[in-house]
A and B are shown apart, each in its own frame.
Chain A
């Protein structure tokens, strides 16, 4: 009995030590790009298992062949911020990469939450999928077009609440800008929910009449007819919903989407970034992967690292006044 117990103890202590020390790598920039990869590549997922980002990475891992095993690590907390910083602070030897979405990275920096400018300082590997923002209502309101909603709100100012995901972030900014463009910003109340699912639940329960939410969080309700999409934030209509008008055709110039991609700590060898993005581009071309992503409500859209970084910085610039305004109302 004693022997067995002490053996178990020794094994457990060893395991604790091994896992506990595993994350303290300090090799720096010394990886040899030609030999890459020589060991497992870790992918940080800054959200809980089972979420959209988690499914994206697991779907990617199924088809991705880097020549080494990829290991998914979930680091959840503060709407993706904890994982983002953990990724940012990881060793830049090319063996730790991270999935994230640009709009949240912009939000962390521009809301003042983060001291480092994550969206500028991280290395961009590539964007692989995109998600869209929709303006939706529930069938209970009877509205089928954005104009009907606007007419009702103009006739009954102060009676309508609009849900969005989070506050002091790009989602809230998008909601604010869209409502302003529609001319109803002053006549409604925006309620921030702590997730797309929470906002959708409130819409289903009739606690809010409109919401700006992502396609991934609403598509199953749209299919069931319990969510009525009015507009999609995009310069053009998308193939999956050919009847859904886009914001630009309705005269509202609010087109922020929700791309998701892969990132690496600052200073990672460009050759390594290129190697990984090349492999990911191959996966993006596979019909199986595209179908798996469509099931999650994502549209596969490969954008290489340089282009992704460039467009993100442009978005951040155009969002600067929006964040300034949010800081004023939030303060």
Chain B
């Protein structure tokens, strides 16, 4: 507790910190809400600036940019069906249909409010039980990671409610795309077709911006000649529409727990946490058929979990010095450049800094909520801006963002190629969701499965010694079997 008090003192004693908090969140929201300019890019571009700041100022800035960026992605996802940042892909599925129904303000309000809940939940976990959670994260070995990723993939069956075959085709395409690049263990190049640029695999930002932003631009451009129905909406509500959210508490709970839980496991990431939460929320929902058609539950699950993951990822960072994702590894760099050793000792030697990081994270969430509510009136107008103005700007931003992330033109071509492939897939009736599922989870499953098997000398039986892994594998099996059995029962009843 004293850590937190020290943290509050530390952050508030420096007025620059508070100013940077607002600036960072604002910049983050801008980066997050412009497709192509992702939250990760925002953080990457800000890292060099933090080197000249004091440690706590630097940390505050990076946290603020990231929190703003991850949350800001929901704006374009909801209003024009293009995720501003990859982790809000799943927000599109329900946010945009809600907008089409004339409820853009409500959809945004739900998304922003859930971002706050998810962020605050993980902030309290961070402030309250970080050391305990860090211990749990250490106890997870490669079998557990494998089992969790497998569980994520198993929801594909439940996900493909419309057509199982087309869903599976999508998932297999995703798995193949995820396999591109250098095989980390044997060193063989897979599916690179002679392009050395592909040895690191397909850049996930380029792929996702291609499949979601460019494809969507193609798709909606087909309708440009038709007069676009003006979406009428009521005055923007500043308070969250609690009535619409009555059914959402389960989804919010899932988002909070899964988001924070995945966050503390280094290397799994926001995108996986969002897709697992979304699909889990659908499986336990009373009205799973409404998911994908403007269901507030979908927005809640997606937006709570992606923000909760931020706070989760800070837990191994402050307790153990282990980076969970790009932002946290950047923060480690930021600490080291100031001569601070991130590691188990940081907690004891610099409690004010650890507390400061926790407090800054919590405050960033609050600032994010305030700023987004304030900006919402401006955002919501975007829904009726002429698409012929909007699309060229979006494409330009995508090119700029994808180029800048790794400073190479190759990724831009990757994005364009996948924009075209995505459009073809849409024409064939194949959903993007299973493609992304396969792309994100396939490599994780492969990596951890092979590492586990190397460590156990090829014996699958070794998994039985890991109860947590077995638990997740059983859940995965249930996800695959239950929908199939249900279908059989329905068919059996009909045949009677």
Instruction: Check B343–A330 contact: CB distance below 8 A.
Output: no
User: Which A residues between 1 and 47 are near B, CB-CB below 8 angstroms?
Assistant: 2, 5-6, 8-9, 12-13, 15-16, 19-20, 23
Known: A220-B342, A223-B345. A50 touches B409 (CB 8 A): no
The answer to whether B396 and A221 touch across the interface, beta carbons within 8 angstroms, is no
- Segment of B77-85, B166-174, B328-336 engaged in the interface with chain A: B328-336
> Given contacts A9-B392, A12-B393, are A48 and B200 in contact (CB under 8 A)?
no
Interface size on A, residues (CB 8 A): 67
- For window 130-150 of B, CB contacts with A under 8 Å fall at 138-142
Instruction: Report chain A residues within 8 Å CB of B408.
Output: 23, 75, 86
The distance from the CB of B265 to the nearest CB of chain A, in whole angstroms, is: 10
A11's nearest neighbour on chain B, judged by CB, is B396
Residues of A within 8 A of B457 (CB): 189
Tell me if B471 is interfacial: C-beta within 8 Å of chain A.
no
Determine if A161 is an interface residue (Cβ-Cβ < 8 Å).
yes
Residues in B whose Cβ lies below 8 Å from that of A114: 196
**Smallest CB–CB gap between B75 and chain A, Å?**
17
Complex CA distance for A48 and B326, rounded to whole angstroms: 8
Q: Which residue of A lies closest to B456 (CB)?
A: A189
Interface centre among B140, B346, B389 (most CB of A within 10 A): B389
Report Cα–Cα, A167/B450, bound state, in Å.
12
Instruction: Verify A331–B186 contact, CB threshold 8 A.
Output: yes
Stretch in contact with the other chain, from B20-28, B113-121, B316-324:
B316-324
**CA separation between A220 and B187, bound complex, in Å?**
31
In the docked arrangement, what's the CA distance between A20 and B404, Å? 9
**Is A77's CB under 8 angstroms from B184's CB?**
no
Number of chain B residues close to chain A: CB under 8 A: 64
Contact of A204 with B393 in the complex, beta carbons under 8 Å: no
- Taking A198-B267, A220-B321, A330-B187 as contacts, is the C-beta distance between A205 and B333 under 8 angstroms? no
User: Are A192 and B454 interface neighbours, CB within 8 A?
Assistant: yes
Instruction: Tell me if B72 counts as interface (CB < 8 A to partner A).
Output: no
Residue in chain B with minimal CB distance to A222: B343
Partner of A13, one of B330, B389, B396, B404: B396
In the complex, are the beta carbons of A50 and B406 less than 8 A apart?
Answer: no
Q: Are A19 and B339 in contact (CB under 8 A)?
A: no
Contact call B337/A205, Cβ cutoff below 8 A: no
Is there a chain A Cβ closer than 8 Å to B102's Cβ? no
Specify the chain A residue showing the minimal Cβ separation from B140.
Answer: A205
* Contact, CB under 8 Å: A20 / B343: no
Q: Which residue of B lies closest to A294 (CB)?
A: B339
Known: A193-B451, A221-B344. 20 other contacts (CB 8 A): A2-B389, A12-B393, A13-B392, A15-B400, A20-B399, A20-B403, A49-B330, A55-B333, A58-B48, A73-B407, A75-B407, A77-B199, A77-B200, A78-B200, A81-B200, A189-B457, A191-B455, A221-B321, A223-B341, A295-B337
21 CB < 8 A contacts A-B: A15-B396, A19-B404, A49-B48, A50-B47, A55-B337, A74-B44, A81-B196, A82-B197, A189-B455, A189-B457, A191-B455, A193-B451, A197-B266, A198-B266, A201-B316, A207-B141, A220-B341, A220-B345, A221-B343, A292-B339, A295-B337
Q: Chain B: residues with CB nearer than 8 A to chain A?
A: 44, 47-48, 51, 138-142, 181-182, 184-187, 189, 196-197, 199-201, 203, 266-267, 316, 320-323, 326, 329-334, 336-337, 339, 341-346, 389, 392-393, 396-397, 399-400, 403-404, 406-409, 412, 447, 451, 454-455, 457
